[in-house]
Amino acid sequence: MPAQPVEHTLALKTFFLELSGNDGIMEALGQGTLDTAHTAAITEMAHRSGVSSKGSIVDTLLLLVGRHDKLVTTSLRQAIRTYRALQKNASNRSRTLKRTIAYALGLHKIPVSYQAICHTGAAYLLVRERMEDSCFKHHSILVDAGNEDLVQDTNKPVVTVSLDTDNTWHVVKPDENAIFINKMGEVELAILRNSCAPCPELLSYVNTVIQEAVLDRRGCRPSHPGKLIQCGWNAGPRHARVFGLVRNIKHTISGEERAQHDQKILGICSLSWNLLTAHLPKEVVDGVSKAIAEADLPNMSMLDDYSDDGYELQLPSGTLSFKTAPRAPAEAYLVQNYSAPIHKDKLYAPYALNWSTQCEPGDVHESHPEKSLGGNFVDVSLRVVVQSAADTFMAIRPGYKHGTTHSRPGTLRQGVAINFSTHIKEAYDTAIKAGGFHLEFDGGSLG
């Protein structure tokens, strides 16, 4: 190595000595537990010493110690060696855990046709045609039979749906997998359950992130029961369409804390997308993928990170990094106890994809066990009711009338929805024609 200027050598000695004298940092290095407070302190020491850093301060420190070993104190050298060893062990454990989870959940699977899914007995197949639905008015409230007390005070029209298959409704029970096709062989609705049973820790993590987002962020559709938190890109409010990233945090937080929150949400939305496209029928996945490619919207992003690939899951057992896996599409929602009246959505894709991650009865349900929990998806024109259950993948056709039945008090339902709203694509197209788009806007309303 060529000789270093005296000033640089003195700066490095000063930096290394100050680090060696900081008991907190030395202990964290020796235990492999450096956190954001430690890295901030190291950054400040480097600045005071006149040592420049490009990128991660920890990576810079490791590089400098390796290149200038003779200037490093014995205690710092040993702490760095221990830190490197611990990081290597942690990386190996993370790779093993990621590989285990990926194969257990089928993340490497190539989607297969609905015939192949049903041929294995994983789901039953029904041919069912859509019916005339003008008798079901837009914005009518949906309620399960036996739960009429939940809507007794409303002045809106109410539609009561059966919880048993009859001449009008077909009911998919909580333990059933089903795929509905029309007479042309096109998938109308797909329901697949319990794909994440091998990894309960992962499902628990996803639900924790959703709960945090509900507490920290403003929701859409405030007039509807429950919470609907938008993630990714949006078109802005109805009166001022501007394509940009959603900004819906309720309170002021630091940039670093915000990035951590965004990283978690990006992670579970991208995990949802990769799970859904690995398990749902190929016909669904191909149709959605074709529409995404034609729309050419950016994948889900976070401020200062606009890559198309890569996400993290910060599990209690360790952080899993999927650096080359595709991120979720542009638009997603985190859902908690949300119920929607009968409506249609305008989409640029043939399907919307949902993952119900939690469905638990509340204490109130114990006194009325005969009552439905509610929160059931209803495809109105198909006349199908899908009873809510945790760990359920669904592909639905939102261009037709649909909605969700009201939930009983105390019930906890959560999930992730991947959507493809036409108004967001239109805002994106308009922005591109105009020469670009804003990276952020103060969100909170849907088109």
Q: What is the mean pLDDT of residues 20-34?
A: 92
Reported pTM: 0.80
**More confident position, 10 or 236:** 10
- Strand duo 158-161 + 141-144: pairing: parallel
Backbone angles phi, psi at 246, to 5 degrees: -65, 140
The DSSP code for 418 is: E
Percent of the chain clearing pLDDT 70 (strictly above): 94
Instruction: State the Cα–Cα distance between residues 327 and 160, nearest whole angstrom.
Output: 39
pLDDT tier, 386 (very low <50, low <70, confident <90, very high otherwise): very high
Question: Do 37 and 27 contact (CB within 8 A), yes or no?
Answer: no
> Which DSSP string do the residues of 204-256 spell out, in sequence order?
HHHHHHHHHHHHHBPPS-TTSSSEEEEEEEE---TTS---EEE--BSS---HH
pLDDT tens-digit profile of 129-171? 999 988 999 999 999 999 999 998 889 999 999 998 888 899 9
- State residue 363's pLDDT score: 64
Go through the chain and tell me how many residues it has.
Answer: 447
- State residue 241's pLDDT score: 67
Backbone angles phi, psi at 109, to 5 degrees: -70, 150
pLDDT at 254 over 70: yes
pLDDT tens-digit profile of 339-362? 999 999 999 999 999 999 999 987
pLDDT tier, 367 (very low <50, low <70, confident <90, very high otherwise): low
Backbone angles phi, psi at 376, to 5 degrees: -90, 140
Q: Compute, in degrees rounded to 10, the torsion defined by CA atoms 251, 255, 260, 261.
A: 20
Backbone angles phi, psi at 118, to 5 degrees: -70, -30
Buried b (16+ CB within 10 A) or exposed e, 182-215: eeeeebbbbbbbebbeebeebbebbbebbbebbe
- State residue 349's pLDDT score: 98
pLDDT at 338 over 80: yes
Residues 6+ away with beta carbon under 8 Å from 177: 122, 123, 124, 191, 192, 193
- State residue 446's pLDDT score: 38
From 26-30, 62-66, 350-354, 436-440, the region with the lowest mean pLDDT: 436-440
pLDDT at 447 over 50: no
Percent of the chain clearing pLDDT 90 (strictly above): 63
Here the tokens at position 209 are 């992130």
- State residue 247's pLDDT score: 84
- State residue 3's pLDDT score: 47
Residue 77, Cβ density class (10 Å: 0-12 exposed, 13-18 middle, ≥19 buried) = middle
**More confident position, 254 or 377:** 377
- State residue 190's pLDDT score: 98
pLDDT at 1 over 50: no
- State residue 442's pLDDT score: 45
pLDDT tens-digit profile of 159-214? 999 998 888 899 999 999 999 999 999 999 999 999 999 999 999 999 999 999 99
Instruction: State the Cα–Cα distance between residues 41 and 439, nearest whole angstrom.
Output: 31
Question: Do 188 and 130 contact (CB within 8 A), yes or no?
Answer: yes
pLDDT at 239 over 90: no
Q: Compute, in degrees rounded to 10, the torsion defined by CA atoms 403, 409, 412, 416.
A: 20
Query: What mean pLDDT is reported for the chain?
Result: 89
Instruction: State the Cα–Cα distance between residues 395 and 417, nearest whole angstrom.
Output: 10
Q: Which amino acid is at 197?
A: A
Residues 6+ away with beta carbon under 8 Å from 246: 230, 231, 232, 233, 234, 440, 441, 443
Instruction: State the Cα–Cα distance between residues 80 and 26, nearest whole angstrom.
Output: 9
Instruction: State the Cα–Cα distance between residues 18 and 12, nearest whole angstrom.
Output: 10
- State residue 438's pLDDT score: 54
**More confident position, 304 or 301:** 301
244 beta partners: 234
Instruction: State the Cα–Cα distance between residues 167 and 173, nearest whole angstrom.
Output: 16
Instruction: State the Cα–Cα distance between residues 271 and 353, nearest whole angstrom.
Output: 13
Question: Do 42 and 62 contact (CB within 8 A), yes or no?
Answer: no
Q: Which amino acid is at 6?
A: V
Q: What is the mean pLDDT of residues 216-238?
A: 88
Here the tokens at position 250 are 């309720």
Greatest CA separation found in the chain? 89
pLDDT tier, 364 (very low <50, low <70, confident <90, very high otherwise): low
Q: What is the mean pLDDT of residues 11-37?
A: 91
pLDDT tens-digit profile of 79-115? 999 999 988 887 777 777 778 888 888 888 899 999 9
The DSSP code for 305 is: B
Q: What is the mean pLDDT of residues 369-391?
A: 93
Here the tokens at position 132 are 């005339």
Q: What is the mean pLDDT of residues 305-333?
A: 90
